[in-house]
Amino acid sequence: MDKPVRIFIVEDERRIARFLQIELEHEGFETEIEENGTRAYERIMQGNFDLVLLDVMLPGMDGMTICKRVREVSSLPIIMLTAKDEVEDKVAGLDIGADDYMTKPFAIEELMARIRNALRKHVPDNGGVPLEERLQVKNLVMYPKRYEVEVDGETVHLTKKEYSLLEYMMRNKRTVLTRDQILEKVWGYDYSGDTNVVDVYIRYLRAKLDDRFHEKYIYTVRGVGYAVKE
């Protein structure tokens, strides 16, 4: 039996999100809902969905930014949902890689048709096998599902915590992350040790990446935190 198509509803208006969930599940789709843009981006990048219904106006990270970042590493079908009806907004959404664009309010029948169309058009480049997720900065490539890191094809061996730290930074590349943000995400909410542990692990990563391959990946923003940049 074929696996049900999994649709991720990213919508901060709970009434609309719940309505979409009921209608989609009635049609046989599996669904999950997220109302915060930043969390939605992180969940999308875990590679567990077949299509995303993405609202434009979201707390945390807006839909346009999410779509643009996802398109850097994935061809996952994305249908933008918005209350805006301006042509410029639709053009902007399509130009950054959205598969389709619908303006609220819309007929659920039309949305279903557009979902089916987006899924039909989404033919993976490797003969039907879903494209493997990869995160990349310059010549540094991470394969999250394989738990592997390579630089110019050469394997880099990292500890579990080093890997988690690098993955978090690569998923948020170009974003300056504070020590508190890194501690919370990589070490957990209940971590009560020294915040200096972040600096220590940044040094470990630099030794294995920047120093070893003579290329700068991890940048320090003095007084703020750290960032991975192109």
Q: Does domain 135-228 have CATH number 1.10.10.10?
A: yes
Single pTM value for the model: 0.55
Per-residue pLDDT reduced to its tens digit, 127-153: 443 445 778 888 998 888 778 899 988
pLDDT at 10: 96
Contact 136, 194 (CB under 8 A): no
Domains 6-121 and 135-228 equal at CATH topology level? no
pLDDT at 134: 79
Q: What is the pLDDT along the chain (230 residues), one digit of tens a residue?
A: 356 789 999 999 999 999 999 999 998 899 999 999 999 998 888 777 889 999 988 999 999 899 988 887 777 899 998 876 666 666 776 777 888 888 888 888 999 999 988 888 765 444 443 445 778 888 998 888 778 899 988 999 999 899 999 999 998 888 999 998 898 888 886 666 676 899 999 999 999 999 999 999 999 999 899 999 88
Cα–Cα distances in angstroms (integers) from residue 3 to residues 29, 51, 122, 145, 189, in the given order: 10, 14, 16, 19, 35
Give the span between the Cα atoms of 36 and 55, in whole angstroms: 10
Contact 205, 211 (CB under 8 A): no
Class of domain 6-121: alpha beta
Structure tokens given for 177: 């992350």
Would you list the DSSP string of 163-181? HHHHHHHHHTTTSPEEHHH
E-assigned strand segments in the chain = 6-10, 30-34, 51-55, 78-82, 100-103, 135-137, 140-143, 148-151, 154-155, 177-178, 218-221, 225-228
Contact 149, 158 (CB under 8 A): yes
Contact 78, 99 (CB under 8 A): yes
Residue ranges per structural domain of the chain:
6-121, 135-228
Give the span between the Cα atoms of 179 and 226, in whole angstroms: 8
Give the span between the Cα atoms of 23 and 28, in whole angstroms: 9
